[in-house]
């Protein structure tokens, strides 16, 4: 197992992470629709909360995607073929990856990429103990930036990017197209992409998934304010804010907001921001696709859809795209 080759990369990235976080927050809170980029939800505690979200009864995506992987993982591995370098975007705890690794034939290595360095290296160490023959090259970075792959001293038949969890839905279609195009470039000739794509469905099912009864999703979004307080010297009072998730019919997406309970002024460093009662901070969008709509998006980014697997209720899909 290789765990230290990319630590220098991670250190360089992290030296500027606070500055990037500050710029993103200050810029976002100055917008007419206040916003914080979804990627900043995933500090160490945020990543742990998201792992809990994936196990909630209401949150169908993770449970359904895992079932699809278990039922069709062998077929996916046959399409991928032997000797691949598996590159995972937003690896988290690599839970679904294990299902794929159980079926892959002689992978050249595994490159988990995640923005939370501590969570990434903890997960990579656990995975390395479970798969002692697997060469692991963790990279702590934002996968929407330039991703540089480590040098692999064994033959690689093809690069396969694994992008589970319907994270592609967190991006506006134009941004998703650019991200997919960058993945196609990274995968290169004969490369491929295996990713989760959430599908359009009943609004009741969607809104319940992001407004869970236990309040874990609320804790996840409100943790953004805790992080801003801790890292950017701010004074958000979490008791004065709440979480809501609403389906936007025009955009075909669920939108997650932090809502101000009252008129208030909040300080972030040397800057002050006024919130009216009911004013919202947009923290995340999760777009839902039709199969035809996503196929069109994939083609515009340089991919062909070579395989689609779904659950019997067609709530979710796992799609295999070739460059």
Domain extent for 317? 60-201+289-322
Q: Is residue 175 part of a domain?
A: yes
Up-side HSE of residue 27: CA atoms within 13 Å toward CB?
7
Of 142, 60, 132, the residue nearest 101 (C-alpha): 132
pLDDT digit string (tens) for 75-104?
999 999 999 999 999 877 777 899 999 999
Please, what is the average pLDDT of the chain?
Answer: 91
Query: Does residue 9 have a pLDDT over 50?
Result: no
Q: How many domains are contained in the chain?
A: 1
pLDDT reported for residue 11: 36
Q: Is residue 21 part of a domain?
A: no
In Å, the largest CA–CA distance within the chain is 61
- How far apart CA 50 and CA 120 sit, in angstroms, is 14
Q: Is residue 24 part of a domain?
A: no
Q: Is residue 234 part of a domain?
A: no
- How far apart CA 26 and CA 67 sit, in angstroms, is 41
Q: Is residue 220 part of a domain?
A: no
pLDDT digit string (tens) for 265-291?
999 999 999 999 999 999 999 999 999
Q: Is residue 110 part of a domain?
A: yes
pLDDT reported for residue 14: 44
Q: Is residue 53 part of a domain?
A: no
Mean pLDDT along residues 105-125: 89
269 near 232, Cβ under 8 Å? yes
Higher pLDDT, 304 or 5: 304
Q: Is residue 181 part of a domain?
A: yes
pLDDT digit string (tens) for 205-234?
999 999 999 999 999 999 999 999 999 999
Which band of pLDDT confidence, cut at 50, 70 and 90, is reported for residue 16? Answer: low
pLDDT reported for residue 100: 94
- Give the domain CATH number at 181: 3.40.50.150
- The residue length of the chain stands at 323
Query: Does residue 51 have a pLDDT over 60?
Result: yes
- Which ranges in the chain belong to alpha helices (H)? 7-15, 17-29, 44-53, 60-80, 95-101, 117-130, 173-187, 203-210, 216-232, 291-300
């Amino acid at each position: 197992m290789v765990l230290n080759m990319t630590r220098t990369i991670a250190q360089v990235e992290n030296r500027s992470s606070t500055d990037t976080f500050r710029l993103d927050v200050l810029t976002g809170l100055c917008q007419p629709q206040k916003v914080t980029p979804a990627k900043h939800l995933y500090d160490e505690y945020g990543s742990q909360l998201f792992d809990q979200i994936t196990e909630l009864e209401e949150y169908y995506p993770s449970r359904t995607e895992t079932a699809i992987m278990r039922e069709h993982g062998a077929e996916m591995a046959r399409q991928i073929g032997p000797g691949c370098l598996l590159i995972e975007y937003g690896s988290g705890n690599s839970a679904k990856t294990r299902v794929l690794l159980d079926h892959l034939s002689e992978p050249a290595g595994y490159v988990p990429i995640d923005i939370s360095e501590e969570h990434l290296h903890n997960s990579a160490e656990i995975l390395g103990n479970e798969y002692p023959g697997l060469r692991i090259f963790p990279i702590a970075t934002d996968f929407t930036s330039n991703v540089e792959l480590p040098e692999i001293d064994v033959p690689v038949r093809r690069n396969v990017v694994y992008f589970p969890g319907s994270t592609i839905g967190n991006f506006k279609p134009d941004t998703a197209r650019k991200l997919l195009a960058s993945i196609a470039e990274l995968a290169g000739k004969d490369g491929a992409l295996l990713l989760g794509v959430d599908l359009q469905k009943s609004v009741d099912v969607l809104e319940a998934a992001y407004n869970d009864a236990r309040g874990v999703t609320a804790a996840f979004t409100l943790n953004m304010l805790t992080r801003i307080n801790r890292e950017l010297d701010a004074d958000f009072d979490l008791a004065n804010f709440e979480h809501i998730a609403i389906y936007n019919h025009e955009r075909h997406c669920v939108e997650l907001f932090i809502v101000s309970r009252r008129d208030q002024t909040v300080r972030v460093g040397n800057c002050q921001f006024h919130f009216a009662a009911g004013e919202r901070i947009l923290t995340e969008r999760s777009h839902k696709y039709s199969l035809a709509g996503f196929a069109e998006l994939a083609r515009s980014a340089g991919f062909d859809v070579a395989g689609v697997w779904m659950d019997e209720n067609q709530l979710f899909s796992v799609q295999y795209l070739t460059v």
